[in-house]
Structure 1
């Protein structure tokens, strides 16, 4: 059974795999055809190398008969003009040695060009597939990544792509090498003595049957190995990413047990496959040995018999030299037959990997550009949310899917309405603040503006243009987005500030850092702006990372600025300094800001208060305080005027928590 032909409950990409038809045909047509010249070089060189490899044992047998025993004329040697044939035995020996030496020398050249051709073919395809798969993957919307673990995606980009390279190099290389050897040796054996050739080929049907049984047995085991590899990668990736939490929680032993568990699952699955494999090849050796012993016995008796008195049912004569050639070539014939099982195995594994790769490459997100999408040009920066509704999971309408953010609950089976009829307008240059309890949908509102997800109903417009009608790059170039969970790339401080504005000179980088109140602490780092921040910025504090992210947004100089808890990790004094800089930055551009510290947004032109995915209040700071609603109570709590929110607000928060817990339990049951 071919790998990938049966549903795999443990394969997170089963759905993608099942949609791919003829993955290996696609592999060769799409990626193999542009690199066909390398493959042709490899194939032709493989044929030449293997034919030359057959020459030494043939000439050895011929030399025994023509030079040492003189049972036949040396003039019968292949492809040598009569004028070149020496008269003396010594001269004939030197000619034979020269031909054999030349065969080894030219064969070595063919072996080099063979390996060059197949390696170039495989490496080029590996590079192209990996980059194309990554390009396709990063164009997917966020709901896809919310449903997949990083380790699972890395397994495709690394393990599966590498497995394709191994098949395209080692597998195809071995296929042509062994095919030429088997056909060439069989042809030589039948040429010399077809009856003894049949004896030498007796084990072939048994080897074919044994190999077939092996393939049927090993495939389910390799599928289990692939599944456990993905689990190991995901566990290690999660643990290494959360190492600070593990240390702070003193859960090293707990995590060690979890790693030990998934590693042992891989060990058991892999050892099961290894145990099958290490039994298979000794079994093949036994069959090969039976063929060799039988050939040696029959051929030996044949040679020892009187001329014209062949043993048993055999009639054709055989010389000593031909018998030696038979013995040498029989050893080379049986083992390649056995190795065809490995090639079939490599093909099946490559087929499963190609299905996963192309399945991921073909994955389509729901956030896609329309065919007639145009470039977005922002003049005023006015933004309109027109009756916007949104759900995570499959919506009722044929619209966008999404993943969870901002604490919003997710249940793919029964999607929950996250935003319900959100409707507001922002004039160009205004600052709008979004406040409300965690999970109210604030971050989702802003991510819809960037089209990280698409609305289920309604529309979002910038200067009157629906964001779904413009190209994604042109939309996102006009916005700068500073998230609460700041992500820094491995590299220097300057590299991270310049990210997305790669041509900006050092002077502008420094000015952006000053505007974000980051210049002073950067100067105090060991190498200043050239200091390496570590993976995910681990060498910097949370506040430092946020200031670098703000500097990145400042350097981009966007038309619309989106700040999602952009100063949550800085101290109050630094926040005041950053806020002063942000006031200058936001003075002439449209700005959206989410903040739990209400003091940072009290001067906003408009404050939208969210609860349960709806706007329950809107107005200026003074207007909202005068209404004595949710905003006024949140302000009073933060100002220390009251100790806690009224019971009605607490009850609504408890209802939201209970609903989330029910959804989580439902997911666990599923």
Structure 2
């Protein structure tokens, strides 16, 4: 990815140190007993599976050929029966018992390993989603939905495969290699050297493969995230694509992103399919060398047939795990990249959060003051680089800045992640506005003048660069976020509904409210009539993002939601933009009753909706150019009068 395309998410992902170690440290330690039980059971299962070839080799020499004493490595001779028939049945019992033990311990480690892996991933998914909810609004202004979806689905699945398969298979491989090595050296050190000669070459080959394939996995994960983003954008904008006859363009965008996934996967597979046959070849050569040298020593030396049989079986057991190294490395490298992406998300700092001494906003009167407010959208990447340099100059580690880094950014036309130009000035500059309890203040002006930004600063979705926004004389940065937003009701121009029932969407945020309260809120928002006209009434499911309802219907449900919230401060950001004139008049009547005893901020392009406001603030290029009542502003014949005349056709 080029520097121009780099995002703050990429920067934090690249700073994650030893991601798999961190995964175990932060999520595995609390489940350590399960992991230990799984690993021990896995080791015991592998040890049990190695016993039959050893028993068979001893039985061949002692029972069938009769040219050697019946012995077993690490087993006291006093434990072994003396008679031939007894030794035969002893061998049968050992072989059968080893298979039973291997099956039992395999079942135990399978169950425990899955419990450990899925438990860890449950916490990772939950924490990732919780962190995503806590991230500043600036993160989502960059439309990184596809990245988050990829982390919660693809990356979590990769980690799950690693914890469930690669970890246990790796343990099994180590146990098999060490166990087989020990047995072979006990039986015949010279032949063991021949059998194991390929192991150092395999280790070096694996080390090279791991280093070579890691960047290819990173490219693949990035390509998958880009593809997810394209898909999400295409589905969300399907109506726009259809109405502008742009289906071909969207299809080509997805096709290009899919091609990127294809090429990145093939880059991984080309290297993987070079590595896997290479490992199998080395393992096969090890088996061939064992057969060649061992067979020669039987014919022309003193190697016993039983020992040779044990070596042949052990080498075959050796080949299979070594051939699986490619899959283990594949899953491990994949998990390393995925873990770095998960913790990259976790490490993105949250700057909009409660101060240690934050106060609770309890039963506010509702006065609001914007005091010399200035706000702009900074270059986050540049800020991160500056913070890292400052930390470096102070002698701190590169990752120390992660705890305090970050910035704010937002809507109303800015680019929060890396393209804003400081020379353009503030989006909002030197704005001072006061609203007494119960006042209605309207923000009007051209698109991009900063109206919505001022409302979002009140909710503290972003923090001001200079000045302050105060509620009842207290800076919102000193107020507990939950209590601030509990007392500020917000209706945006784009009313969002979750896929659920109408009643659930009205009740959202006030989940314990009664059905009667929901109905009363709907009546106040002029929504009750259309809701009761639906087949399932308040239990009608609205579909994803409320697609089964019209824009005006969604808007009225959003207003009903705020009515149910019953806040002391109300923010209406183009709240009636998607309704017809008749419905707007009825909603406006209800809103007049709702705003009568509340401090209300109204953002409106339709100036007819703010005629009765106690104060109208006219904004241009982020600055206040006029303020006053409707009549006062018309008499001044300034910018407001110009806007009014343009909308009403007055001269």
Residue in structure 2 matched with residue 435 of structure 1 by the alignment? 444
- Secondary structure class of the residue paired with 2:497: coil
Distance change (3 Å), C-alpha of 1:625 and 1:541: same
Residue in structure 1 matched with residue 65 of structure 2 by the alignment? 69
Mapped pair 1:587 → 2:590: no
The structure 2 residue matched to 1:347, chosen from 294, 318, 332, is 332
Conserved 8 A contact 2:559-2:575: yes
Alpha-carbon distance in 2 for matches of 1:67, 1:524: 90
- Secondary structure class of the residue paired with 1:420: strand
Residue in structure 2 matched with residue 129 of structure 1 by the alignment? 124
Q: How does 1:495-644 map to 2 (within 5 A)?
A: 495-642=504-651
Residue in structure 2 matched with residue 476 of structure 1 by the alignment? 485
Alpha-carbon distance in 2 for matches of 1:183, 1:554: 70
Residue in structure 1 matched with residue 411 of structure 2 by the alignment? 405
Q: How does 1:34-113 map to 2 (within 5 A)?
A: 34-74=30-70, 79=75, 85=81, 87=83, 89=85, 92-113=87-108
Alpha-carbon distance in 2 for matches of 1:345, 1:280: 10
Residue in structure 1 matched with residue 247 of structure 2 by the alignment? 252
1:610-635 Cα distance to aligned partner (Å, 9 max, x none): 11111111111111111111111211
Mapped pair 1:390 → 2:375: yes
Residue in structure 1 matched with residue 165 of structure 2 by the alignment? 170
Q: How does 1:295-334 map to 2 (within 5 A)?
A: 295-305=290-300, 310=301, 317-334=302-319
Conserved 8 A contact 2:73-2:186: no
Conserved 8 A contact 1:480-1:560: yes
Q: How does 1:420-459 map to 2 (within 5 A)?
A: 420-459=429-468
Conserved 8 A contact 2:9-2:348: no
- Secondary structure class of the residue paired with 2:140: helix
Conserved 8 A contact 1:40-1:117: no
Residue in structure 2 matched with residue 273 of structure 1 by the alignment? 268
Alpha-carbon distance in 2 for matches of 1:11, 1:419: 25
Residue in structure 2 matched with residue 665 of structure 1 by the alignment? none
How many Å apart are 1:428 and its aligned residue?
A: 0.3
Conserved 8 A contact 2:414-2:420: no
1:563-613 Cα distance to aligned partner (Å, 9 max, x none): 000010001111111111111111111111111111111111111111111
TM-score between both structures, scaled by the size of structure 1: 0.89
Conserved 8 A contact 2:280-2:322: no
Alpha-carbon distance in 2 for matches of 1:210, 1:33: 32
Conserved 8 A contact 1:211-1:338: no
Distance change (3 Å), C-alpha of 1:163 and 1:72: same
1:128-169 Cα distance to aligned partner (Å, 9 max, x none): 122222222221211122135210122222222322222222
Alpha-carbon distance in 1 for matches of 2:433, 2:7: 43
Residue in structure 1 matched with residue 203 of structure 2 by the alignment? 208
1:100-138 Cα distance to aligned partner (Å, 9 max, x none): 122111211111111222222222221112222222222
Residue in structure 1 matched with residue 180 of structure 2 by the alignment? 185
Alpha-carbon distance in 2 for matches of 1:276, 1:190: 34
- Secondary structure class of the residue paired with 2:228: helix
How many Å apart are 1:366 and its aligned residue?
A: 3.1
Alpha-carbon distance in 2 for matches of 1:619, 1:268: 61
1:156-200 Cα distance to aligned partner (Å, 9 max, x none): 222223222222222221221111100000111111111111111
Unaligned runs of 5+ in 1: 311-316, 643-670
The structure 1 residue matched to 2:215, chosen from 201, 220, 238, is 220
Greater mean deviation of Cα atoms: 389-398 or 578-587: 389-398
Distance change (3 Å), C-alpha of 1:27 and 1:408: closer
1:468-490 Cα distance to aligned partner (Å, 9 max, x none): 11111111011110000111111
Alpha-carbon distance in 1 for matches of 2:177, 2:358: 58
How many Å apart are 1:86 and its aligned residue?
A: 7.4
Alpha-carbon distance in 2 for matches of 1:341, 1:191: 29
How many Å apart are 1:11 and its aligned residue?
A: 6.9
- Secondary structure class of the residue paired with 1:460: strand
Residue in structure 2 matched with residue 337 of structure 1 by the alignment? 322
Alpha-carbon distance in 1 for matches of 2:412, 2:421: 20
Alpha-carbon distance in 1 for matches of 2:454, 2:317: 70
Distance change (3 Å), C-alpha of 1:12 and 1:349: farther
- Secondary structure class of the residue paired with 2:370: strand
Residue in structure 2 matched with residue 21 of structure 1 by the alignment? 17
How many Å apart are 1:77 and its aligned residue?
A: 8.5
- Secondary structure class of the residue paired with 2:366: coil
1:354-401 Cα distance to aligned partner (Å, 9 max, x none): 222222212213323211111112432111111111111259999994
Greater mean deviation of Cα atoms: 44-53 or 101-110: 101-110
Alpha-carbon distance in 1 for matches of 2:180, 2:246: 63
1:199-257 Cα distance to aligned partner (Å, 9 max, x none): 11122222223223322332232222122111111111110111111111121122111
Alpha-carbon distance in 1 for matches of 2:142, 2:352: 16
Alpha-carbon distance in 2 for matches of 1:364, 1:273: 32
1:275-318 Cα distance to aligned partner (Å, 9 max, x none): 2212221222222111111111111122223xxxx2xxxxxx42
Q: How does 1:478-493 map to 2 (within 5 A)?
A: 478-493=487-502
How many Å apart are 1:407 and its aligned residue?
A: 3.7
Alpha-carbon distance in 2 for matches of 1:588, 1:8: 50
The structure 1 residue matched to 2:354, chosen from 369, 373, 389, is 369
- Secondary structure class of the residue paired with 1:417: coil
Conserved 8 A contact 1:378-1:462: no
Residue in structure 2 matched with residue 262 of structure 1 by the alignment? 257
Greater mean deviation of Cα atoms: 195-204 or 148-157: 148-157
- Secondary structure class of the residue paired with 2:427: strand
Conserved 8 A contact 2:377-2:408: yes
